[in-house]
């Protein structure tokens, strides 16, 4: 549902079968299919429900043409989403989302004294599944020690043995204890950069994005003529077929300006045609949030291009 939320746009249309009251004295409920032109979108991340509102654009026995209606799109309910144009990036992301192998790469409990977050790191986002916030007498919040995670780990497997939780016991070897500076979600960045965690996640997309961004920062410091960010610089590098790795945020593909959207899709397609690696970062993922701070697009080059350092950023990137 989160991916659908990204790709629904105003003036797009959706078709869904729904049940509603007829308005008669008996207030009977009927099943009918509505087609609406979407004008507003609201996503409830906790319930995983997408609420779309718009005008009815198809003849219907129960809802007048042009009448406003709100539909709830829920998990495991069929609906049809129509757009005037589906670009290659949208179709690729939908295919990946429908692939059953593209599930959570990592489950993490980030904790400190009195606070913990249970997170799932998938190929496209970091999702907080639970937050535990308790007041501990004579304890100050904020401290995070080696003892906390060791104590919790020992307690968890003692409880698993006592309750015969075979799933936990059979996968004990997959658990990794690592340090984090706090019990907040943003500390996942430190966890994903830990060598012991990266070795476990070496083939996952989430770790791949973190590694690519880390490599970009390293090259930017040591060899700045091989690392650039900003649309103008990256496009100039692509014209010379110099891009080895393109880092781009999915936020750019949700731009309301159709020309700008097509511009980024063309960039992705061109880099791939030239043999470059494209990594599309989710803005809901920690690494994607970092990339968004760098205009949402960056590139690692095959060879230095010092002439790009002389180019000025376009005014829209400076703002």
**Most confidently modeled range among 29-38, 245-254, 255-264:** 245-254
The answer to whether residue 98 sits within a structural domain is: no
User: So what's the pLDDT on residue 139?
Assistant: 63
User: So what's the pLDDT on residue 206?
Assistant: 65
Q: Are residues 182 and 213 in the same domain?
A: no
307 is in which domain, residue-wise? 205-318
Nearest-10 Cα torsion for 91, 290, 123, 144 = -160
Q: Rounded mean pLDDT of 187-204?
A: 77
- Reported as a pLDDT band with limits 50, 70 and 90, residue 107 is confident
Q: Are residues 161 and 209 in the same domain?
A: no
- Reported as a pLDDT band with limits 50, 70 and 90, residue 61 is confident
Q: Which residues of 121-144 are buried (b: 16+ CB within 10 A; e: fewer)?
A: bbbbbbbeeeeeeeeeeeeeeeeb
User: So what's the pLDDT on residue 164?
Assistant: 93
- Reported as a pLDDT band with limits 50, 70 and 90, residue 11 is very low
pTM for this entry: 0.53
Residue 257: both structure tokens together: 């300006």
Domain count, the chain: 3
Structure confidence by residue, pLDDT tens digits, 302-319: 999 998 887 654 434 444
User: So what's the pLDDT on residue 160?
Assistant: 94
Q: Are residues 190 and 211 in the same domain?
A: no
CA-based Rg of the chain, rounded to a whole angstrom? 24
CATH code, domain with 110: 3.30.420.60
Looking at the predicted structure, is the pLDDT value of residue 188 above 70? Answer: yes
CATH code, domain with 56: 2.30.30.870
Looking at the predicted structure, is the pLDDT value of residue 16 above 70? Answer: no
The answer to whether residue 97 sits within a structural domain is: no
Placement of tokens 């959570």 in the chain:
104
Q: Are residues 140 and 36 in the same domain?
A: no
Least confident piece of the model among 91-100, 216-225, 276-285: 91-100
Q: Are residues 239 and 314 in the same domain?
A: yes
User: So what's the pLDDT on residue 271?
Assistant: 96
Report the candidate in 156, 154, 157, 144 with the shortest Cα–Cα distance to residue 111: 144
Q: Which residue has better confidence, 153 or 21?
A: 153
Q: Are residues 241 and 163 in the same domain?
A: no
d(CA 222, CA 249): 24
Give the residue from 171, 200, 229 where a domain finishes.
Answer: 200
**Averaged pLDDT score across all residues of the chain:** 80
Q: Which residues of 254-265 are buried (b: 16+ CB within 10 A; e: fewer)?
A: eeeeeeebeebb
User: So what's the pLDDT on residue 27?
Assistant: 58
Count how many Cα atoms sit within 13 Å of the Cα of residue 115 in the half-sphere of its side chain: 13
Q: Are residues 161 and 77 in the same domain?
A: no
The answer to whether residue 8 sits within a structural domain is: yes
Structure confidence by residue, pLDDT tens digits, 113-141: 888 999 888 766 777 888 999 887 766 65
- DSSP E strand boundaries for the chain: 13-21, 29-44, 49-56, 68-73, 79-82, 106-112, 115-121, 126-133, 227-229, 243-249, 277-281, 297-301
Q: Are residues 32 and 71 in the same domain?
A: yes
Q: Say if residue 239 is exposed, middle or buried (CB neighbours under 10 Å; 0-12, 13-18, 19+).
A: exposed
CB 114 within 8 A of CB 136: yes
For residue 246, what is the DSSP state?
E
């Amino acid at each position: 549902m989160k991916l659908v939320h990204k790709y629904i746009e105003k003036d797009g249309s959706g078709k869904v079968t729904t049940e509603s009251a007829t308005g008669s004295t008996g207030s009977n409920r009927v099943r009918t299919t509505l087609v609406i032109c979407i004008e507003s979108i609201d996503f409830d991340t906790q319930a995983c429900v997408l609420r779309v509102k718009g005008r009815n654009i198809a003849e219907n026995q129960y809802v007048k043409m042009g009448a406003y209606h709100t539909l709830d799109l829920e998990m495991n309910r069929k609906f049809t989403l129509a757009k005037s144009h589906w670009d290659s990036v949208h179709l690729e992301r939908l295919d990946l989302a429908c692939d059953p192998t593209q599930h959570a790469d990592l489950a993490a409990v980030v904790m400190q004294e009195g606070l913990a977050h249970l997170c799932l790191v998938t190929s496209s986002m970091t999702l907080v599944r639970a937050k535990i916030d308790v007041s501990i007498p004579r304890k100050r919040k904020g401290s995070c020690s080696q003892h906390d995670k060791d104590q919790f780990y020992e307690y968890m497997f003692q409880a698993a043995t006592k309750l015969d939780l075979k799933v936990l016991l059979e996968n004990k070897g997959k658990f990794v204890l690592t340090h984090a500076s706090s019990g907040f979600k943003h500390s996942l960045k430190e966890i994903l950069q830990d060598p012991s965690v990266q070795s476990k996640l070496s083939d996952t997309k989430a770790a791949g994005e973190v590694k690519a961004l880390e490599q970009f920062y390293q090259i930017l410091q040591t060899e700045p003529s091989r690392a650039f960010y900003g649309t103008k610089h990256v496009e100039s590098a692509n014209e010379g077929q110099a891009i080895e790795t393109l880092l781009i945020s999915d936020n750019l593909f949700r731009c309301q300006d159709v020309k700008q959207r097509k511009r980024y899709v063309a960039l992705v397609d061109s880099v791939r045609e030239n043999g470059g690696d494209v990594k599309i970062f989710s803005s809901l993922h920690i690494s994607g949030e970092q990339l968004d701070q760098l205009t949402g697009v960056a590139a690692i080059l095959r060879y230095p291009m010092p002439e790009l350092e002389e180019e000025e950023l376009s005014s829209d990137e400076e703002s």
